Amino acid sequence: MSKRLDTDDRRRYFIVGSVILEIVTPVFRQRLEKDYKSKGLGCLQDFINSKPVIHILFHLRHTNIKCCVDTTNCRNRRKLPLNYSQWDLLYTENPGPPKHHCHCLYTTNNVKLDDLDITLASLILLNCCNLTSNEETLIKELREFKNNYLSHNTKGAITEKEYQTLWNDLMTRVLQLDPSKQDDFIRIQNRPLDDSLCNKYFVCLLDIHKKLEEISDKLSSTADILTAMNINNDQSNVELFTKLEVGTNTEHIFMCCHQLNQ
Ligand SMILES: *[C@@H]1O[C@H](CO)[C@@H](O)[C@H](O)[C@H]1NC(C)=O
Ligand SMILES: *[C@@H]1O[C@H](CO)[C@@H](O)[C@H](O)[C@H]1NC(C)=O
Protein backbone atom coordinates (compact mmCIF):
# COMPACT_ATOMS: atom_id res chain seq x y z
CA MET A 1 0.00 0.00 0.00
CA SER A 2 1.36 3.41 -0.91
CA LYS A 3 2.18 6.00 1.69
CA ARG A 4 -0.53 8.27 0.32
CA LEU A 5 -3.23 5.63 0.71
CA ASP A 6 -2.03 4.84 4.19
CA THR A 7 -2.40 8.45 5.21
CA ASP A 8 -5.89 8.67 3.77
CA ASP A 9 -6.99 5.51 5.58
CA ARG A 10 -5.63 6.93 8.77
CA ARG A 11 -7.30 10.27 8.23
CA ARG A 12 -10.66 8.55 7.72
CA TYR A 13 -10.15 6.68 10.98
CA PHE A 14 -9.33 10.00 12.66
CA ILE A 15 -12.53 11.59 11.32
CA VAL A 16 -14.78 8.74 12.44
CA GLY A 17 -13.05 8.55 15.83
CA SER A 18 -13.45 12.30 16.23
CA VAL A 19 -17.17 12.03 15.54
CA ILE A 20 -17.54 9.35 18.21
CA LEU A 21 -15.54 11.23 20.84
CA GLU A 22 -16.39 14.84 20.01
CA ILE A 23 -20.00 14.54 18.84
CA VAL A 24 -21.66 11.26 19.82
CA THR A 25 -20.31 11.09 23.38
CA PRO A 26 -21.43 14.66 24.24
CA VAL A 27 -24.86 14.00 22.64
CA PHE A 28 -25.27 10.95 24.88
CA ARG A 29 -24.24 12.95 27.94
CA GLN A 30 -26.68 15.74 27.07
CA ARG A 31 -29.52 13.24 26.63
CA LEU A 32 -28.74 11.81 30.04
CA GLU A 33 -28.75 15.28 31.56
CA LYS A 34 -32.11 16.01 29.96
CA ASP A 35 -33.51 12.84 31.50
CA TYR A 36 -32.45 13.53 35.07
CA LYS A 37 -33.42 17.20 34.88
CA SER A 38 -36.89 16.09 33.76
CA LYS A 39 -37.02 14.00 36.93
CA GLY A 40 -36.22 17.07 39.00
CA LEU A 41 -32.64 16.06 39.79
CA GLY A 42 -29.95 18.71 39.72
CA CYS A 43 -26.85 16.71 38.85
CA LEU A 44 -25.58 13.34 37.68
CA GLN A 45 -24.50 12.34 41.17
CA ASP A 46 -28.06 12.79 42.50
CA PHE A 47 -29.39 10.70 39.63
CA ILE A 48 -26.82 7.90 40.11
CA ASN A 49 -27.65 8.02 43.82
CA SER A 50 -31.42 7.79 43.34
CA LYS A 51 -33.06 4.53 44.49
CA PRO A 52 -34.28 3.19 41.14
CA VAL A 53 -30.98 3.95 39.41
CA ILE A 54 -28.60 2.48 41.98
CA HIS A 55 -30.87 -0.57 42.15
CA ILE A 56 -30.83 -1.12 38.39
CA LEU A 57 -27.08 -0.52 38.07
CA PHE A 58 -26.33 -2.78 41.05
CA HIS A 59 -27.98 -5.69 39.27
CA LEU A 60 -26.06 -4.94 36.10
CA ARG A 61 -22.88 -5.66 38.06
CA HIS A 62 -23.83 -8.27 40.69
CA THR A 63 -25.25 -11.70 40.27
CA ASN A 64 -27.32 -13.94 42.56
CA ILE A 65 -28.16 -11.19 44.96
CA LYS A 66 -31.47 -10.21 46.53
CA CYS A 67 -31.56 -6.70 47.86
CA CYS A 68 -32.61 -6.09 51.42
CA VAL A 69 -34.66 -3.05 50.51
CA ASP A 70 -36.31 -3.99 47.25
CA THR A 71 -36.58 -7.73 46.77
CA THR A 72 -39.41 -7.65 44.26
CA ASN A 73 -37.53 -5.92 41.48
CA CYS A 74 -34.28 -7.81 41.83
CA ARG A 75 -32.90 -9.37 38.69
CA ASN A 76 -30.44 -12.17 38.40
CA ARG A 77 -28.48 -11.92 35.19
CA ARG A 78 -26.04 -14.36 33.76
CA LYS A 79 -24.15 -11.75 31.82
CA LEU A 80 -23.17 -8.61 33.69
CA PRO A 81 -23.14 -5.66 31.31
CA LEU A 82 -21.42 -3.27 33.72
CA ASN A 83 -17.72 -3.98 34.35
CA TYR A 84 -15.76 -3.42 37.55
CA SER A 85 -14.09 -0.20 36.52
CA GLN A 86 -17.43 1.30 35.46
CA TRP A 87 -19.05 0.31 38.76
CA ASP A 88 -16.06 1.64 40.74
CA LEU A 89 -16.23 4.95 38.91
CA LEU A 90 -19.82 5.39 40.11
CA TYR A 91 -19.86 3.85 43.59
CA THR A 92 -17.63 3.16 46.60
CA GLU A 93 -18.18 0.39 49.11
CA ASN A 94 -18.68 1.67 52.63
CA PRO A 95 -16.01 0.75 55.14
CA GLY A 96 -16.83 -1.64 57.98
CA PRO A 97 -18.17 -5.20 58.00
CA PRO A 98 -20.94 -5.64 55.47
CA LYS A 99 -24.33 -6.49 56.96
CA HIS A 100 -26.10 -6.98 53.66
CA HIS A 101 -25.12 -7.97 50.19
CA CYS A 102 -26.96 -5.14 48.62
CA HIS A 103 -26.64 -1.72 47.00
CA CYS A 104 -27.17 -0.25 50.47
CA LEU A 105 -23.47 -1.04 51.02
CA TYR A 106 -22.42 1.60 48.53
CA THR A 107 -22.17 5.36 48.41
CA THR A 108 -22.22 7.35 45.21
CA ASN A 109 -19.04 9.02 44.05
CA ASN A 110 -18.85 12.64 42.99
CA VAL A 111 -19.19 11.65 39.38
CA LYS A 112 -19.64 14.19 36.57
CA LEU A 113 -21.15 13.83 33.11
CA ASP A 114 -17.71 14.31 31.56
CA ASP A 115 -16.43 11.24 33.42
CA LEU A 116 -18.71 8.99 31.38
CA ASP A 117 -17.36 7.52 28.18
CA ILE A 118 -19.66 6.53 25.33
CA THR A 119 -20.04 2.95 26.58
CA LEU A 120 -20.99 3.83 30.13
CA ALA A 121 -23.22 6.71 29.04
CA SER A 122 -25.12 4.42 26.68
CA LEU A 123 -25.48 1.72 29.34
CA ILE A 124 -27.05 4.21 31.74
CA LEU A 125 -29.25 5.70 29.03
CA LEU A 126 -30.55 2.34 27.88
CA ASN A 127 -31.16 0.94 31.34
CA CYS A 128 -32.14 3.86 33.54
CA CYS A 129 -33.68 6.55 31.33
CA ASN A 130 -37.00 7.15 29.68
CA LEU A 131 -36.17 7.05 26.00
CA THR A 132 -38.47 6.89 23.03
CA SER A 133 -38.13 3.65 21.10
CA ASN A 134 -36.50 5.58 18.26
CA GLU A 135 -33.90 7.04 20.61
CA GLU A 136 -33.26 3.61 22.06
CA THR A 137 -32.61 2.17 18.60
CA LEU A 138 -30.32 5.04 17.60
CA ILE A 139 -28.27 4.83 20.80
CA LYS A 140 -27.84 1.06 20.40
CA GLU A 141 -26.83 1.46 16.78
CA LEU A 142 -24.29 4.18 17.53
CA ARG A 143 -22.76 2.10 20.31
CA GLU A 144 -22.55 -0.86 17.93
CA PHE A 145 -21.01 1.43 15.41
CA LYS A 146 -18.15 2.24 17.71
CA ASN A 147 -17.65 -1.45 18.50
CA ASN A 148 -17.77 -2.53 14.88
CA TYR A 149 -15.49 0.08 13.35
CA LEU A 150 -13.24 1.31 16.13
CA SER A 151 -13.02 -0.88 19.25
CA HIS A 152 -11.45 -3.81 17.42
CA ASN A 153 -9.71 -1.79 14.75
CA THR A 154 -6.06 -2.41 15.66
CA LYS A 155 -4.83 -0.82 12.44
CA GLY A 156 -6.28 2.60 13.10
CA ALA A 157 -7.30 2.82 9.46
CA ILE A 158 -10.57 2.91 7.52
CA THR A 159 -10.70 2.23 3.79
CA GLU A 160 -12.44 4.49 1.29
CA LYS A 161 -15.02 1.80 0.54
CA GLU A 162 -15.91 1.25 4.17
CA TYR A 163 -16.01 4.96 4.84
CA GLN A 164 -18.45 5.63 2.01
CA THR A 165 -21.15 3.50 3.57
CA LEU A 166 -20.47 4.25 7.21
CA TRP A 167 -20.24 8.04 7.00
CA ASN A 168 -23.85 8.61 5.96
CA ASP A 169 -25.17 6.03 8.41
CA LEU A 170 -23.26 7.68 11.20
CA MET A 171 -24.32 11.21 10.34
CA THR A 172 -28.00 10.36 9.81
CA ARG A 173 -28.25 8.65 13.16
CA VAL A 174 -26.52 11.37 15.12
CA LEU A 175 -28.56 14.13 13.48
CA GLN A 176 -31.77 12.34 14.39
CA LEU A 177 -30.72 12.53 18.01
CA ASP A 178 -29.44 16.10 17.75
CA PRO A 179 -29.98 18.06 14.52
CA SER A 180 -27.83 20.94 15.79
CA LYS A 181 -24.63 18.93 15.17
CA GLN A 182 -24.58 19.39 11.38
CA ASP A 183 -21.84 22.05 11.49
CA ASP A 184 -19.65 19.87 13.71
CA PHE A 185 -19.77 17.12 11.10
CA ILE A 186 -18.60 19.52 8.42
CA ARG A 187 -15.83 20.91 10.62
CA ILE A 188 -14.55 17.43 11.50
CA GLN A 189 -14.80 16.11 7.96
CA ASN A 190 -12.63 18.95 6.66
CA ARG A 191 -10.05 18.67 9.38
CA PRO A 192 -6.55 17.54 8.39
CA LEU A 193 -5.02 14.52 10.09
CA ASP A 194 -3.52 15.41 13.46
CA ASP A 195 -1.20 12.50 14.21
CA SER A 196 -0.81 13.03 17.89
CA LEU A 197 -4.55 13.51 18.49
CA CYS A 198 -5.21 10.49 16.30
CA ASN A 199 -2.93 8.34 18.47
CA LYS A 200 -4.75 9.47 21.60
CA TYR A 201 -8.11 8.69 20.07
CA PHE A 202 -6.81 5.31 18.97
CA VAL A 203 -5.97 4.34 22.55
CA CYS A 204 -9.30 5.67 23.77
CA LEU A 205 -11.40 3.83 21.26
CA LEU A 206 -9.62 0.51 21.20
CA ASP A 207 -10.90 -1.95 23.75
CA ILE A 208 -7.57 -2.59 25.46
CA HIS A 209 -8.97 -5.11 27.92
CA LYS A 210 -10.58 -7.24 25.22
CA LYS A 211 -7.37 -7.08 23.25
CA LEU A 212 -5.30 -8.07 26.26
CA GLU A 213 -7.56 -11.06 26.85
CA GLU A 214 -7.10 -12.18 23.27
CA ILE A 215 -3.37 -11.78 23.53
CA SER A 216 -3.19 -13.64 26.81
CA ASP A 217 -5.25 -16.49 25.36
CA LYS A 218 -2.53 -16.86 22.79
CA LEU A 219 0.18 -16.77 25.40
CA SER A 220 -0.20 -18.55 28.74
CA SER A 221 -2.24 -17.02 31.54
CA THR A 222 -2.61 -13.28 31.93
CA ALA A 223 -1.89 -13.39 35.61
CA ASP A 224 1.50 -15.03 35.06
CA ILE A 225 2.43 -12.54 32.41
CA LEU A 226 1.33 -9.56 34.42
CA THR A 227 3.10 -10.78 37.55
CA ALA A 228 6.25 -11.56 35.61
CA MET A 229 6.23 -8.09 34.13
CA ASN A 230 5.16 -6.52 37.40
CA ILE A 231 2.16 -5.00 35.77
CA ASN A 232 -1.03 -4.41 37.67
CA ASN A 233 -2.76 -1.24 36.68
CA ASP A 234 -4.56 0.12 33.64
CA GLN A 235 -1.81 2.50 32.63
CA SER A 236 0.65 -0.37 32.47
CA ASN A 237 -1.81 -2.51 30.57
CA VAL A 238 -1.61 0.11 27.87
CA GLU A 239 2.15 -0.23 27.86
CA LEU A 240 1.98 -4.00 27.78
CA PHE A 241 -0.51 -3.85 24.98
CA THR A 242 1.55 -1.48 22.93
CA LYS A 243 4.67 -3.56 23.46
CA LEU A 244 2.92 -6.71 22.34
CA GLU A 245 0.67 -5.55 19.60
CA VAL A 246 1.27 -2.08 18.28
CA GLY A 247 4.99 -1.75 18.54
CA THR A 248 5.64 1.33 16.48
CA ASN A 249 3.90 4.65 16.18
CA THR A 250 3.14 4.99 19.85
CA GLU A 251 4.77 8.25 20.82
CA HIS A 252 1.64 9.71 22.34
CA ILE A 253 -0.10 6.50 23.14
CA PHE A 254 0.26 6.62 26.89
CA MET A 255 -2.31 9.36 27.30
CA CYS A 256 -5.14 8.15 29.42
CA CYS A 257 -8.62 8.36 27.89
CA HIS A 258 -9.88 9.88 31.05
CA GLN A 259 -7.80 13.01 30.62
CA LEU A 260 -9.05 13.32 27.09
CA ASN A 261 -12.63 13.40 28.18
CA GLN A 262 -12.09 16.40 30.42
C1 LIG B 1 -14.92 -1.41 31.20
O2 LIG B 1 -15.65 -0.62 30.28
C3 LIG B 1 -14.98 0.53 29.82
C4 LIG B 1 -15.93 1.31 28.94
O5 LIG B 1 -16.82 2.07 29.72
C6 LIG B 1 -13.74 0.11 29.05
O7 LIG B 1 -13.03 1.23 28.61
C8 LIG B 1 -12.86 -0.70 29.97
O9 LIG B 1 -11.76 -1.18 29.23
C10 LIG B 1 -13.62 -1.88 30.56
N11 LIG B 1 -12.79 -2.51 31.59
C12 LIG B 1 -12.61 -3.82 31.68
C13 LIG B 1 -11.78 -4.28 32.81
O14 LIG B 1 -13.12 -4.59 30.87
C1 LIG C 1 -39.42 6.28 33.47
O2 LIG C 1 -38.53 5.29 33.89
C3 LIG C 1 -38.74 4.83 35.19
C4 LIG C 1 -37.58 3.93 35.54
O5 LIG C 1 -37.07 3.27 34.44
C6 LIG C 1 -40.08 4.16 35.26
O7 LIG C 1 -40.32 3.69 36.56
C8 LIG C 1 -41.15 5.16 34.86
O9 LIG C 1 -42.42 4.52 34.80
C10 LIG C 1 -40.85 5.78 33.51
N11 LIG C 1 -41.75 6.88 33.27
C12 LIG C 1 -42.34 7.04 32.10
C13 LIG C 1 -43.20 8.26 31.99
O14 LIG C 1 -42.22 6.27 31.17
Question: Tell me: the pLDDT tens digits for 168-196?
Answer: 999 999 999 999 999 999 999 999 999 99
pLDDT, average across residues 62-68: 76
Of residues 118 and 65, more confidently modeled: 118
Q: What pLDDT was estimated at residue 155?
A: 87
Q: Which helix (H) or strand (E) holds 91?
A: strand 91-93
Q: Are strands 91-93 and 106-108 parallel, antiparallel or unpaired?
A: antiparallel
Ligand with the closest atom to the CA of 73: 2
Nearest Cα neighbor of 150 from 177, 180, 117, 178 is 117
Q: What pLDDT was estimated at residue 57?
A: 94
Q: What pLDDT was estimated at residue 217?
A: 67
Tell how far the Cα of 139 is from the centroid of ligand 1, in angstroms.
Answer: 18
Whether the predicted pLDDT of 164 surpasses 70: yes
Which residues face 92 on adjacent strands? Answer: 107
What is the position in ligand 1's atom list of the atom closest to the CA of 83?
Answer: 1
Instruction: Please give the DSSP secondary-structure letter assigned to residue 55.
Output: H
Question: Tell me: the pLDDT tens digits for 6-39?
Answer: 899 999 999 999 999 999 999 999 999 999 999 9
CB 171 within 8 Å of CB 183: no
The share of the chain scoring above pLDDT 90, in percent, equals: 56
Tell how far the Cα of 251 is from the centroid of ligand 2, in angstroms.
Answer: 47
Whether the predicted pLDDT of 129 surpasses 80: yes
Question: Tell me: the pLDDT tens digits for 207-256?
Answer: 777 767 666 666 655 666 666 665 555 545 555 555 554 433 333 333 33
Tell how far the Cα of 210 is from the centroid of ligand 1, in angstroms.
Answer: 9
Going by pLDDT thresholds of 50, 70 and 90, the confidence category of residue 105 is confident
Evaluate: CB of 209 within 6 angstroms of ligand 1: yes
Whether the predicted pLDDT of 259 surpasses 50: no
Of residues 32 and 147, more confidently modeled: 32
Evaluate: CB of 117 within 6 angstroms of ligand 1: yes
Angle at 85 between CA 254 and CA 245, to 5 degrees: 40
Evaluate: CB of 52 within 6 angstroms of ligand 2: yes
Q: Which helix (H) or strand (E) holds 147?
A: none
The CA dihedral of 163, 165, 167, 171, to the nearest 10 degrees, is -170
Angle at 24 between CA 129 and CA 84, to 5 degrees: 60
Ligand with the closest atom to the CA of 147: 1
pLDDT, average across residues 105-133: 96
Of residues 202 and 208, more confidently modeled: 202
pLDDT, average across residues 117-124: 96
Three-class SS of residue 92? strand
What is the position in ligand 2's atom list of the atom closest to the CA of 52?
Answer: 4
